């Protein structure tokens, strides 16, 4: 870990000066690498979930995405 007088350097961009009103105005090239890192983590849907009891007899109840009644 790389430590400076300000603390341990992390890999996450600090967007504390950005808010909803300014988020879309930030030039994409300035965020590109950080967004790619976020997207890579999010792509692994199951990998980010922890803690389901793995020693129980049934699968956890499945979400109902595929049984949604819709008008159109």
Partner 1 sequence: MIGDRGWQTHKVDPEHFQALVEGAGDERAIAALWASERSWRLLALRDLIDACATVDGVAGPLPSVDMAWQLLTEASKSSPATTEEVLAQPQVGIWVAHTLRRLVTAASQGHDEPPDLPPLWADVGYLHALAAASAVRAGITFELDVPVRFGTAVLPTVGAAAVHAGRDVVRVSAAGGTVQVDGSATWHPPVRIEVTAGGVPVRIELVDRDVYRDLRGPSPPRPATGAEVEQWRATLGEAWELLVREQADRVGAIAATVRTITPLPHEERFRPLSASGAEAFGGMLLSEPDDALQLAVTLVHEVQHQKLGALLHLFTLFEDGRGLRGYAPWRDDPRPVGGLVQGVYAFAGITAFWRTHRAAAAAGPLAEFEFALWRRQTLRVLATLRGSAQLTDDGRTFVAALSDTVAALQHDRVSSSAEEAARRMANDHHALWRVANVVVGADVGPRLAAAWRRGGTPPADLLAESDTVLAGPPFGGFDARAVLLRHRLTDPAGFARLTAGMHPRPVVFGATAGDVALIAGDAELARREYRAYLDQDVADIRSLVGLGLALPEGDEATRALLGRPELVLAAGRHAPRQLLDLAAWLGRMLPEPGTAGRAQWHVAQP
Query: Which residues make up the interface to partner 1 (CB under 8 A)?
Result: 1-4, 6-16, 18-21, 23-24, 26, 28-35, 38-39, 41-43, 45, 47-72
Nearest C-alpha neighbor of 15 from the set 4, 6, 3, 25: 25
Tokens at 46, concatenated: 């199951």
CB of 16 to partner 1, least distance (A): 6
Report how far Cα 34 is from the mean position of its chain's Cα atoms: 11
CB of 25 to partner 1, least distance (A): 10
CB of 41 to partner 1, least distance (A): 7
- Strand, helix or coil for residue 4: strand
């Amino acid at each position: 870990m790389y430590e400076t007088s300000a603390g341990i350097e992390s890999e996450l961009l600090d967007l504390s000066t950005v808010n909803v009103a300014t988020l879309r105005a930030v030039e994409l090239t300035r965020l590109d690498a950080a967004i790619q890192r976020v997207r890579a983590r999010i792509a692994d849907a199951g990998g980010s979930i922890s803690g389901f009891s793995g020693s129980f007899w049934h699968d956890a109840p499945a979400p109902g995405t595929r049984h949604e009644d819709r008008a159109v």
